């Protein structure tokens, strides 16, 4: 494996079937070791882009979530500088759901949705003490597109809301009042409060059908954890709306599978994303 990694300063020197190319410099390719292990090797020249992806993916894989097992994350050093990072993980078998969903029977679609529900329940059972990545570290800024910025950590939901509102000062006062009321309503539900309301749960952050792998009607894995972190339960559904490449047929499926998210949360998410958009 290190012999392969030593060639990654020039990614063109690496032999393997390319699975995916990123905008700019970077790709994911398949490599089979001498022992017959089939690996996915992800190389991105922007070193910060998947800084915590390996940690989050391995955490998911070791907590009953169908995520690839991570073999290692390596830095490509040139002149003392980290030129890029390389993540090596197991290659998930199957094809992306986006390639086959519309050809599936209703029964097969229902079977895949049932399996996705199980995975999402398992993800929501994984909690962290703060909004961010593993070990109280910052996580990728989901609003920042491919630019690789970070956000967090935040000790509570109010701190996260304040960070978001600071990016949209024109509506800050109105949303601050509305979100405060929403938080109180959730935390005060049922007299003693909803025990789940203050939790920060494992969130994929980019739950597109391109990141869901299947063989027939069997779910084989959820890949690409670049945007993964611990967030309030509503976040998975809110963040799903940030992907403007979603197929029209996929959004109703997400609405069916994911916990509810208020209209004001959706609106704020869209406004914060707009604040990070290039001029």
Q: What are the phi and psi torsion angles at 174 (to 5°)?
A: -65, -50
Band of the pLDDT at 6, cuts 50, 70, 90?
very low
Local confidence band at 250 (pLDDT 50, 70, 90 cut-offs):
very high
98-107, 199-208, 239-248: the lowest-pLDDT one: 239-248
Contacts of 51 (CB under 8 A, 6+ apart): 85, 140, 150
Instruction: Give yes or no: residues 158 and 109 share one domain.
Output: yes
**Are residues 73 and 147 both part of a single domain?**
no
The proportion of the chain whose per-residue pLDDT surpasses 70, expressed as a percent, equals 85
Q: Which residue has the higher pLDDT, 272 or 194?
A: 272
In this predicted structure, the answer to whether residue 1 has a pLDDT above a threshold of 50 is no
Query: Do residue 207 and residue 264 come from a single domain?
Result: yes
How far apart are the C-alpha atoms of 234 and 168, rounded to whole Å?
20
What are the residues facing 218 on neighbouring strands?
215
Residues 216-228: tens digit of each pLDDT: 999 999 999 999 9
Whether residue 236 is found in the same domain as residue 270:
yes
d(CA 66, CA 207): 13
77 and 213, same domain (yes or no): no
The pTM (predicted TM-score) of the whole model is 0.89
Q: Are residues 169 and 67 part of one domain?
A: no
Are 221 and 252 found together in one domain? yes
Counted domains in the chain: 2
pLDDT band for position 19 (cuts 50, 70, 90):
confident
Is 78 in the same domain as 194? no
The dihedral region occupied by 109, where left means phi > 0, alpha psi between -120 and 50, and beta the remainder, is alpha
């Amino acid at each position: 494996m290190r012999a392969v990694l030593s060639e990654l300063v020039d990614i063109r020197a690496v032999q393997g079937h390319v699975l995916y190319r990123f905008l700019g410099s970077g790709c994911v390719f398949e490599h089979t070791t001498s022992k017959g292990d089939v690996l996915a090797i992800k190389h991105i020249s922007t070193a910060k882009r998947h800084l915590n992806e390996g940690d989050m993916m391995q955490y998911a894989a070791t907590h009953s979530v169908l995520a690839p097992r991570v073999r290692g994350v390596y830095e490509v050093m040139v002149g003392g500088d980290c030129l890029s990072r390389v993540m090596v993980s197991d290659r998930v078998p199957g094809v992306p759901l986006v390639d086959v969903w519309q050809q599936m029977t209703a029964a097969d679609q229902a079977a895949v949705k049932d399996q996705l529900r199980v995975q999402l329940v398992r993800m929501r059972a994984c909690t962290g003490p703060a909004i961010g990545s593993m070990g109280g570290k910052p996580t990728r800024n989901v609003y920042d597109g491919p630019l690789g910025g970070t956000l967090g950590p935040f000790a509570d939901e109010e701190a996260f809301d304040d960070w978001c509102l600071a990016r949209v000062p024109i509506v800050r006062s109105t949303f601050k009042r509305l979100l405060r009321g929403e938080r109180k309503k959730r935390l005060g539900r049922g007299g003693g409060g909803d025990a789940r309301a203050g939790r920060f749960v494992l969130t994929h952050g980019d739950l597109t059908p391109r990141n869901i792998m299947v063989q027939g009607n069997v779910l084989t894995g959820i890949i690409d954890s670049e945007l993964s972190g611990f967030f309030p339960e509503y976040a998975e559904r809110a963040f799903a709306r940030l992907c403007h490449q979603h197929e029209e047929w996929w959004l109703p499926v997400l609405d069916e599978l994911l916990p509810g998210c208020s209209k004001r949360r959706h609106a704020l998410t869209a406004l914060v994303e707009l604040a990070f958009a290039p001029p």
